[in-house]
Every structure is written in C-alpha cells, then in structure tokens.
Structure 1
C-alpha cells in the first residue's frame, strides 16, 4: 500500500496526532481506476461536510490542493482497480479533549488494490443480525468520522458464513457494518432513514437521486418490515449493488428489480466517473 502524509510519500504520523488519540477526523474510501475516480465530487463533498461538522473546515486553498494532488500525483500511482483512502485529522494536539483553536490538519492518502466483488454481485450474500447496536447521535449522524468501534466490534463478531450483518438502533434497521441496505416490496424501494445514526453512503445517495425507475421510501423501519421484503440488496461505493439471498435464516430471491438496478447503476457508475 502506498501512503502520502501531508502530500509527501510517507507512512508515519506523530504520536500526538488527534486522529490517533481521539479519532478526531473523517475519512473516505474512493473506487479508482488508472484513468479516473468514481464519485469523487460526492466523496469530497461528504469529507468537507464532515470537517465542517467537526469544526475544522478546509479552506478553498486546501480543497484545491487536495484535488490537484489527487489528480496529478495519486492517480499516477494507480495501475489497476484500486481504493484511494483519504483521512483528514485535526492534526497534532496536547493532552485533553479540547482541540486547538485552529486546526493544522494532517492529510493522509493511501492507495491499495481494490477488492473484487463480482462473485457477490452475481451470486448474492447472506446477512445476519448484529448483536452490536448502532450508536445514535443525530449531531454526528451521516458523516464518516474516525470513531468506528461499533463497526469493528460487529465485524469481529460476524460469522464466517455471513458476508454482512444488519445493525439496529432501538429495534429499527439502520444499516449494515460496511454498507447501506435497501429492499423491494410490491415494486417499491425502501431504505432506512439515517437522521439519527449511520453513514450517508455516497452510493446510497446516488441510487436515491439518480435512478428514476422506482419510488424510494426513506423512513423508520423495523426488522419485521425488512422480513416482509420481496428482494433485498446492499450497497457501498466499492461493491455497488449486491443482492441479498438470506437475512438471519430467511431466504430471498435475487429478484428482477434488483438486477434492473444493478444494470442501471452500472451505467451511472460510468457516467459519474471523474
């Protein structure tokens, strides 16, 4: 894996960095080929929104520097389907939670080979129900901050037979460990609201906004609502649309509507490459 720290080839950060001490930062993982980034503008918009929310916004100059470096330097290191990870922390700080008044950001960029999800896209995957509840915090909901202990714990407890696990808050379906969840019922598309908890996936948002084939119902849904589904699938920016064939022992077909959305969003992926 190739790493850049503050736009220099490096793989080390200070032991006093607040990203290490407190998870004081945000990150993005971007699907990339040797010629382009996928959904780059969406990923950067979420990154900048997260920095604003945490009170350490990027200036116009910092945004320009990051985007120029991605196109002029990072893309040159990509020789196959890859993942570009961007981590931005508040930088170095002393003891205690109180942050410095002005952030001297640490910008970390990593490039690694992308996982291959073709088998999952074609054959579907199994989900379980995670015993780890989602932590609800409306102030931080949606952003991809560095505090991900609940996801780590849920992943550690995931059975080998299951690809993912559904995570709940107060008996409501929120998301999966590393993906957003959708389902069809009577040709209508449903997905949980993320106003209280969860990550606003860039692929989730693209699917909601860009496909016009199905009405999308975003709301608060129980596990029983999910069990009444005709088809289920999960998404993220690396795996795209992956059908679900089983949730906690209940089987689902890889349905016609899911396949239509897979093909529809594949075309959108190509259109949205930047």
Structure 2
C-alpha cells in the first residue's frame, strides 16, 4: 500500500519527496536502533576499542547487521576525524538504525541499516570536575535491557530534565531504593576506601569509562566491589562520583538534600581523576588540578 504524496508537518503541507527528514526511518518511528558516544582528547579517540565492541554487542542484541566490519569501523572513524581536521577535545555521536521502510512493527526484509556519525567539539567540564556536582534521585522506570545502548531513552530524558529543572547535574536512578545508575552515567559510592557500584547486569549500561574506572581503582589499590548500595547508604558515604564519556570521573557532593561526606571532592575520587587524566593522555597544561597537585603521586 503506497503512501499518498502530501504530508502534514510543523511547516504545513509538503510533498513527501521534499520532507527534510526520512519520515519512514525506524529509528525515528520506533527507536529501533543503537548508538555510541566516543570521547576525543586532543584529536585522539579515548577507549575507542571498548566503544566499537559495545556497538557491535548492542547491534547483535537487537538483530541489526552492521554495514561495516569492526576493522572497517575503526578505519572509517579515524577517517572521520581526518576529514574534519579534528585536533581538539570533542566527541563523536554514532547512530545505527534498522533502516528506512514502510512502518510495520515487524522487521523489514532486505533493508540496509542506516548509520551516521558526526563530530562535535566538547571542552572538558573543568569547574564541575574540580568542585563536584549536585544530583537528585528518581525511580528507575526503564526497561530491563539497559545493557543495550538503544535509542529508547525517554525515561532517561525525563529524569535528566527533572534534574535540570531542579538545578542539578544528574539524576541518580533507583529500583526499590537500590541505586542502579544515573540517567546518563554510572554511579559509585566510596566508604572506608572501598568503591561500591551496581553489578554489571542487564539493568545497567556497562559503561566504557566504568570499565576503566574499575581497572584504575585496582591499580591504585582501592577495592572495587560490584554490589548495589541503597539510597539509605548515601548519608553514610565518604564520597560519591559518577562516570561517563562526557562527565569523565565526576565528584558528587550532594544528593537531594544530603551532603556527601565533607561536601567536597574526596581523595579517592581525586586520585581516580588523576589516573583518568594520565590514562587519557591529557597534558598537564589541561589538568583539572593546580600545578602543585599535578606532581602529587597517584597511589592508594
């Protein structure tokens, strides 16, 4: 059954051939796709292998065939930076959908996937990284397969907007008072030098930076325990922080009306921030720490 030629849009009636976006795109109509956000420092990708591996895992989980092999994906992402002469801090947003086809819940047959990626400049959030951020808590009402980095982000968007309207940086999500993760980050609690975070189950996104935080924590001698903590534990926490490709290792100094620890970024978080900077090859001239702190040894 063919679609009639004229469509109603926010710009009035237009011919379907003149529409500025593909209206029969499954990512647009169903959220039928996956995505990645890859951090770039000084024109170089950070954790690109982890991001590409997760992209392929997510695509496989929802049965979308990538148009490129892994090796081709690396090559094309490198070429994307060259084409744009990228030499600064930035990010790449990459989106893969099941393609464009007449609207039907069932998968279309023999339709190629749609993929695009673009580069956007993104300076580091220096003030927030140095001073810490405030957060709120929200019930986690998302689906049960959060390990897939899918386009179905409306619950995340609503939680983030609630945080924004309350002047907070992030919304920390919980199920029956057990903290899962943030609307766009993983969440950690520090008590007596031990780092706690939700296990890497299907209920959270297995963050690429999260994996590095675990490795860096062990290098620094901090026990890293994958065990969910509760909202009630926050009042007794020494420190909290969140992590993501855009937030890096971000100190949390307040959750709702609760001041975390001293209300300042704590020593465990700061050592992880320094280890992150070293791991990401961030030059000392762009470090978030004063010059004296740059020379401080990073150790447990």
- TM-score (structure 1 length as normaliser): 0.86
Residue 265 in structure 1 maps to residue 276 in structure 2: yes
Could you tell me how far apart the structure 2 residues matched to 1:134 and 1:218 are? 22
Total equivalences in the alignment: 256
Instruction: Give the CA deviation at 1:96.
Output: 1.7
Which ranges in structure 1 are unaligned for 5 or more consecutive residues? 1-11
Residue 166 in structure 1 maps to residue 166 in structure 2: no
Residue 122 in structure 1 maps to residue 133 in structure 2: no
Residue 147 in structure 1 maps to residue 157 in structure 2: no
Deviations 1:157-185 (A, max 9, x none): 22342111111123211111111111111
Structure with max Cα Rg: 2
Aligned to 1:255: 266
Single out whichever of 15-24 and 31-40 deviates more from structure 2. Answer: 31-40
Could you tell me how far apart the structure 2 residues matched to 1:194 and 1:226 are? 20
Does the CA-based 8 Å contact 2:162-2:171 persist in structure 1? no
Instruction: Give the CA deviation at 1:46.
Output: 0.7
Greater RCO (Cα-Cα under 8 Å, separation 6 or more): 1
Could you tell me how far apart the structure 1 residues matched to 2:188 and 2:113 are? 36
Deviations 1:232-254 (A, max 9, x none): 11111122111111111111232
Instruction: Give the CA deviation at 1:270.
Output: 2.2
The alignment partner of 1:206 has SS state of helix
Q: After the TM superposition, which residues 1-274 of structure 1 pair with which residues of structure 2 at under 5 Å, given as runs?
A: 14-33=22-41, 35-58=43-66, 61-77=68-84, 78-130=86-138, 132-137=139-144, 140-158=145-163, 159-212=165-218, 213-252=221-260, 253=262, 254-270=265-281
Does the CA-based 8 Å contact 1:141-1:194 persist in structure 2? no
Does the CA-based 8 Å contact 1:135-1:169 persist in structure 2? no
The alignment partner of 1:178 has SS state of coil
Which ranges in structure 2 are unaligned for 5 or more consecutive residues? 1-19, 283-300
Deviations 1:43-97 (A, max 9, x none): 11110000000011336x4333322221123343124211110001111122221
Instruction: Give the CA deviation at 1:36.
Output: 1.2
The alignment partner of 1:157 has SS state of helix
Does the CA-based 8 Å contact 2:65-2:113 persist in structure 1? no
